[in-house]
Amino acid sequence: MKGKMMKRGDLILIGIVVIAALAFIVPRYWGGNESEKNHIENRFVHIEVNGEAYQTLPLTEEEQVVMIKTEDGFNQIKIHNGGVEMIDADCPDELCLGFGFVTRPGQQIVCLPHRVSVFIGVESGEELEVDDVVG
């Protein structure tokens, strides 16, 4: 039995599917989300210790390292590339280091043993964006 050859219509269909897929994938890697980049200037990193405000810093592209020392221990955070991450801590479980790099308002990093909370917010008086509503 002879092998089946692709017809011209099959090749055109495959080409259209590949082009459509690339149209959705490529902009994420080259352009990123422009609306996210444009709103970075309105975002802040809020640091709380024992539920009280400790420090508020602007969210920037430039690297800033902040050391948080309390009677329970220390945590070190790094603000860069429009986000924040916990890079060091002397807590026994170091779970706070596993939160990774957070970039969106409402995302949070918590160190329970040291009672430190780091989250991204917006300027006071502005509402956070709602991703989804579950009813």
Q: What is the pTM of this model?
A: 0.63
Q: How confident is the model at residue 28 (pLDDT cuts 50, 70, 90)?
A: low
Q: Is the pLDDT of residue 3 over 90?
A: no
Q: Which residues contact 46 (CB under 8 A, 6 or more apart)?
A: 53, 56, 118, 119, 120, 121
Q: What average pLDDT is seen over the chain?
A: 82
Tell me the β-bridge partners of 35: none
Tell me the β-bridge partners of 120: 45
Give the per-residue pLDDT at 83.
93
- Tens digit of pLDDT for each residue in 77-120? 999 999 999 999 999 998 999 999 999 888 999 999 999 999 99
